[in-house]
Structure 1
């Protein structure tokens, strides 16, 4: 099954999803109901070109109305980073729409930044104790070629990889860049540019105005080589249920 990245947009939601080109419109509607909250029978779906620089709620140029349940996304000419716009044809058939975004009735617990920093039972305190993320000790300087780390021979662009972000959290992607960078020029360190399977990154392959490779928004990060394991890591099912990993501040650019 060929997967592509598409934006899914509705009056209450906007997110990036990996969808198979062989999905029929009927199968797509089944997947869109829990995402958008709009019941299957009330969904009106259109495929649109995503306007560069436009706001998330911008409809984009219409490509096709997905009004034949038996046709597939491929039949309608879906391409990377187009937008699937979902509207409700029945204003009374709201389903779960609105329940995901209306927090007016939710009792909130709030802390000031100072109160949060003073607590010892927070993610921030755990990171400080374990020297993770921005609290990690600086990497040793490697400006001397004799001190440069030896990289694995299979750590090359195009290789599938898994990146350890902490003792318990790892993510998968594809290596797209290996080498020194402008943001690491001071210590001569080598960074690995990874294109993530999911939109969990920090950038699109460019850092501080310098481009190292090209991918979609929030699909790229730069990590240290010792965090990367190359191997046969297949892409995970994007619709599988994942446990909530909590807040994580990754060691990446």
Structure 2
């Protein structure tokens, strides 16, 4: 009876998510208490990459004590009486899962393709050939350098922790970094942790860590692509019902 009353009186709950294979994965995600356990697993799949059929989910309270296993896919989340600050722990049961073996966290495990300078120089249509052609056609334009303060003025209203929307694509997230990025082009950059896995990294770019976020949720973009303001996290299940 208490569980039913909770569902009626409280629409949603903010839970921390952890994963058996991705140790750096611990976002806070808001769930509707009326979502079925199956819908919760669908949302978790979009966050961490573990398929619904290979996923086991455990609920822990804010002291670390296990409350229950979310085994009944038809039950609403509110049936298990979660509260803000509780934790959902995702266990990936698939030994061949994309999340296993540290592949989403340790890029050193990925075999990298390398080409010799001599072979690269022989290729047509490369960026190097394009720059050489551009320099030959317009030497003065090629010599123009980007200032170290490029777009600094656009960063005056962008702060770490701000919610934001990034174009193109209206991708939403939170600001995690503002400043110069020594491994990228001169000028100012903004680091964003997307709400969904729409990024390219986990906050580390070319060997330098600018911020921390879950794998494939991070991006470094120019300030003119970022709008800060009231951009709450979208709930894909609510959008589907419209």
Q: TM-score, normalised by structure 1?
A: 0.48
Question: Residue 66 of structure 1: CA displacement?
Answer: 2.8
Which moves more between the two structures, 149-158 or 193-202? 149-158
Where in structure 2 are the equivalents of 1:1-253 lying within 5 Å? 1-4=12-15, 6=17, 20=30, 23=33, 27-29=36-38, 31-32=40-41, 45-47=56-58, 65-67=69-71, 69=75, 70-74=79-83, 77-79=86-88, 82-84=89-91, 141-143=145-147, 145=149, 149-165=152-168, 169-184=169-184, 187-239=185-237, 240-241=239-240
8 Å contact kept, 1:47–1:85: no
1:170 Cα deviation from its structure 2 partner: 1.8
CA contact (8 A) 1:173 1:194 kept: yes
Give the Cα–Cα distance (whole angstroms) in 2 for the partners of residues 3 and 48 of structure 1.
13
Q: Residues 31, 173 of structure 1: CA spacing in aligned structure 2 closer, same or farther, 3 A cutoff?
A: closer
CA distance in 2 between counterparts of 1:86 and 1:188 reads 45
Q: What do the CA deviations read for 1:165-222 (whole angstroms, capped 9, x no partner)?
A: 2xxx2211111111111222xx422110001111211111111221111111111100
The residue matched to 2:80 in structure 1 has which SS?
coil
With over 3 angstroms needed to count, the CA separation of the structure-2 counterparts of 1:37 and 1:190, relative to structure 1, is closer
Question: 1:231 deviation in Å?
Answer: 1.4
Cα contact 2:148–2:187 (8 A) shared by 1: no
Q: TM-score, normalised by structure 2?
A: 0.50
Cα 1:77–1:227 change in 2 (3 A) is: closer
Displacement of 1:45 in angstroms is 4.4
Count of paired positions: 160
Q: Does the C-alpha gap of structure 1 residues 207 and 17 become closer, same or farther in structure 2, counting only changes over 3 Å? A: closer
Cα-to-partner distance string for 1:58-107 (whole Å, 9 max, x where unaligned):
xxxx995335752145599524xx315589xxxxxxxxxxxxxxxxxxxx
Q: What CA RMSD, in Å, does the superposition of the two structures yield over aligned residues?
A: 4.4
Q: Secondary structure at the match of 2:153?
A: coil
Whole-Å separation in 2 of the counterparts to 1:6 and 1:231:
25
- Which structure has greater helix proportion? 2
